[in-house]
Homo-oligomer: A and B are copies of this chain.
Amino acid sequence: MTLSEEDYVKVIYHLGKGDNATVSTNAVARQMQTKPSSVTDMVKKLSEKGVVNYRPYKGVSLTEYGKKVALSLVRKHRLWEVFLVDKLDFSWDEVHEVAEQLEHIKSEKLVDQLDKHLGYPTIDPHGDPIPSKNGEFKRAIKKTLNEVPVGTNGICVGVKDSSAPFLKFLDKNNIALGDTILVIDKEEFDGSLHIQIKGNDLHISDQIATNLYLKITE
């Protein structure tokens, strides 16, 4: 498979939300930053190769084989992201573009050894699960901090309130996107939370918890 074919497969996978839904030509074009006519051409070729199911005017979905290809790419992408953050001190938001390139390197041994070198991680720096070699993985969901049960472990991936005061508060309390957060305890009385973040314990109000998104994998 060429680099371009691989990127199409990945886009079709992500748009199909993992459950292999049929996706439209326009959706793929938007995501691939290309024209719908180019998508039609490529999708025909992928169909010839048995990677996708394609019905003109009706949309495209991955075959079983295509799904395997997609999961292998997602695995590689996320492993490289972990590498960049853990070993090369990249930050959370710098890794995607480079991983987008690295995911296309062809070498099974490289992936296996990288996985080992990283200590067999199960989630990437964005809190997304890393598929195993045979394509199994937990689904990730995004919830606000106040919605999850005590004991939940996740990665801070966004804010609902993006006002300056709130962001300032996060900064002052040393909470940043990409941080791992563990919910230690919840006060029933006011809904405030005891959490652990980057090794430090912290007590945050319900209002704060409501505005912080956590990505978790059950």
Contacts and interface: CB of A to CB of B under 8 A. Distances in A.
Contact of A98 (B101, B107, B117): B107
A90 B113 contact: yes
A109 B93 CA distance: 13
Contacts of A102: 102, 105
Contacts of A97: 107
Interface in A78-124: 84, 87-90, 94, 97-98, 101-102, 105-107, 109-110, 113-114, 116-117
A175 B1 CA distance: 40
Nearest to A105: B101
Contacts of A105: 98, 101-102
Q: Contact residue range for chain A? A: 10 to 19
Contact of A88 (B88, B90, B110): B110
Contacts of A89: 113
Interface in A138-190: none
Nearest to A3: B3
Contacts of A101: 105-107
Nearest to A87: B117
A114 to B, nearest CB: 6
B109 A94 contact: yes
Given A88-B117, A89-B113, 10 more contacts: A87-B117, A88-B113, A88-B114, A88-B116, A90-B113, A97-B107, A98-B107, A98-B109, A98-B110, A101-B107
